[in-house]
Amino acid sequence: MIQLGISAFYHDSAACIVKDGKVIAAVEEERFTEIKHDDRFPTNAINWCMNEAGIDDLNSIDEVCWYEDPKVKKDRVLTTFNKHFITTFKNRIKFLINYYFNSPKRLLKNNYDYTGKIKYISHHLSHAAFSYYTSPYKEAAILTVDGVGEWETITISHAFEDRIVKKLSINFPHSLGMLYSTVTAFLGFKPNEGEYKVMGLAPFGNPDKYFKQLDSIFTRTSNKFTINQKYFTWEYSDKIMFNIEFCHLLKLPPRFKEEPITQDHKDLAAALQKVYEKEFSRLVKISKRLTGSKNICLGGGCAYNGVANILAYRDFDSVHIPFAPSDAGSAIGACLESYTGNVRDNTSPYLGPKYKKDSLKKVFKKFDDKIYHFKCSDEYLTKKVAEYISEQKIIALFKSNMEFGSRALGNRSIIASPEFADMRVKLNKIIKKREGFRPFAPSVTLEKAKNYFEINEPVPYMNIVAKNKTELFKAATHIDGSCRVQTVTKDMNPEYYKLLKEVGKLTGHEVILNTSYNLKDQTITRSPRQAIERYLNSDIDILIIDNYLIKKK
């Protein structure tokens, strides 16, 4: 059974190939186009996945799985537009044109001459399936939260073995994800991209200043909520998400991108995070009540909110968040939901491109006047990189298969010592050239993790923010004493694990600061050429590409 999974046209377009319930290749379109969160039809991603799987003709596969149902989505969009018939006239025409020309059937026919089976899996079921079928559970509650799918913005389900049963849903326009994106836009950041900036900004503010105003827009029942649409334009605008009434509610003008961030902006970010956590915690309690499970899987783009995610442990013994809970992961989720056999182990996030040694040599030759490159044994390279970390140097790692999802987990990472606060300043200001309030993450061996961090179980994908129990690791600890932890095991990433062990021998702590290998406004580094160019255009000290140690001339 060979399936092609696709997500597209909202954000994080992606493709995957699943063979007999095992994901063998997956990648986001942005990695090829270098457009962050690229939402276009993922031709480049599909082509790479087909090539990786040895598929020459798409008609040789069994089915294409699409991550949502376009007809149901059309119903929601047109029903919503009908409420504002005049103001949405141009958007209606634009939507209908796109609906016709960008239908999955038409695009697959035009690009690949594909005439085979296309299976449409509902948006939130794709989220739920990806989370559940990558978890260790045979039974679990599933909570999915995002902006909007077809109609649904939130679902609660109960999963048993190979069956997912929906228990509750909340429909558009009542959306926690849309609210978070709206305040993201109000604060001058890009929606569907800058939400993590707002989460990072929140600990610098006092939530009390704006909490009551934001909370007042909710009307709650025992299991659900509605959001007062008086303040928002979600139903009729695809450009501005809030109106003047929202400004009046907050008694604050929106921030433009170039303007400085004030204390008011920090306070608003804090209030938004507090409101989100309040409603998220309520949804977790409802999930517990409706399912009675001890385990919960979280899905949807909002499952990247690691600060809120840890609150699920108040009601559940075990919490699973997959490595790509947003729309990208739904390409995989759609396939796993459609597959009728036993789903195999799909816990590895290392599903993207890797490069052959012959191609590396050609790339090195192009940069021969700018770099030295040394081929090293695994043992020597591990010891040398550990020495560099102990010497406060900054190293870029480009190893093996690229990660799928928005977290770099040791294969496309910038790493450094986590011990001194000035390393955080250097990375933000000089290397990444981004806002100084942005936090970094510590990677730690699983067996040592509880010595330092308040975690309940493994956190392999960096989707839980936990308290640092010590005064150590100032560069990887946020202002509120929290860390977005990544626990590393020998089975998941043997090379990265060995490096952490070696660092522990030199420093006494098996902990490394880890951030994604990209510079400001760039996508995560995909190719060796990109890796070298970005190394040369930055103050990164050392670059590692597979078994090669690279230095600047």
Considering the domain architecture, whether residues 143 and 71 belong to the same structural domain is answered as no
Rounded to whole angstroms, how far apart are CA atoms 171 and 151?
5
pLDDT tens digits, one per residue of 217-274: 999 999 999 999 999 999 988 789 999 999 999 999 999 988 999 999 999 999 999 9
For residue 170, the cross-strand partners are 154
Considering the domain architecture, whether residues 206 and 251 belong to the same structural domain is answered as yes
Q: Please check whether residue 313 is in contact with residue 319, taking contact to mean a CB–CB distance below 8 angstroms.
A: yes
Considering the domain architecture, whether residues 505 and 400 belong to the same structural domain is answered as yes
In 118-261, alpha helices (H): 123-133, 176-186, 195-201, 208-215, 244-250
Residue 140 is part of which domain span? 136-321
Local structure of residue 256 (DSSP, 8 states): P
In 34-85, alpha helices (H): 43-53, 70-82
Considering the domain architecture, whether residues 422 and 478 belong to the same structural domain is answered as yes
Q: Is residue 335 part of a domain?
A: no
Token pair 């496309």: residue: 412
Considering the domain architecture, whether residues 420 and 296 belong to the same structural domain is answered as no
pLDDT reported for residue 343? 83
Considering the domain architecture, whether residues 154 and 75 belong to the same structural domain is answered as no
CA of residue 512 relative to chain centroid, distance: 21
Q: Is residue 109 part of a domain?
A: yes
Residues of the chain with pLDDT under 50: none
Q: Is residue 181 part of a domain?
A: yes
Considering the domain architecture, whether residues 399 and 523 belong to the same structural domain is answered as yes
Q: Is residue 338 part of a domain?
A: no
Considering the domain architecture, whether residues 89 and 154 belong to the same structural domain is answered as no
Measure CA of the first residue to CA of the last residue in the chain; give whole Å.
51
Considering the domain architecture, whether residues 361 and 415 belong to the same structural domain is answered as yes
Q: Is residue 408 part of a domain?
A: yes
For residue 443, the cross-strand partners are 486, 512
pLDDT tens digits, one per residue of 157-190: 999 988 999 999 999 999 999 999 999 999 999 9
Q: What residues have CB less than 8 Å from 551, skipping those under 6 apart?
A: 371, 372, 374, 542, 543
Of 70, 95, 120, the domain-final residue:
120
| Domains contained in the chain, number | 3
Q: Is residue 9 part of a domain?
A: yes
Rounded to whole angstroms, how far apart are CA atoms 461 and 484?
10
* Two structure tokens written together for 449: 């993790």
Planar angle of CA 514, 517, 520, nearest 5 degrees: 110
pLDDT reported for residue 358? 83
Considering the domain architecture, whether residues 147 and 114 belong to the same structural domain is answered as no
Planar angle of CA 136, 306, 483, nearest 5 degrees: 105
CA of residue 270 relative to chain centroid, distance: 21
We report the CATH number of the domain holding residue 67 as 3.30.420.40
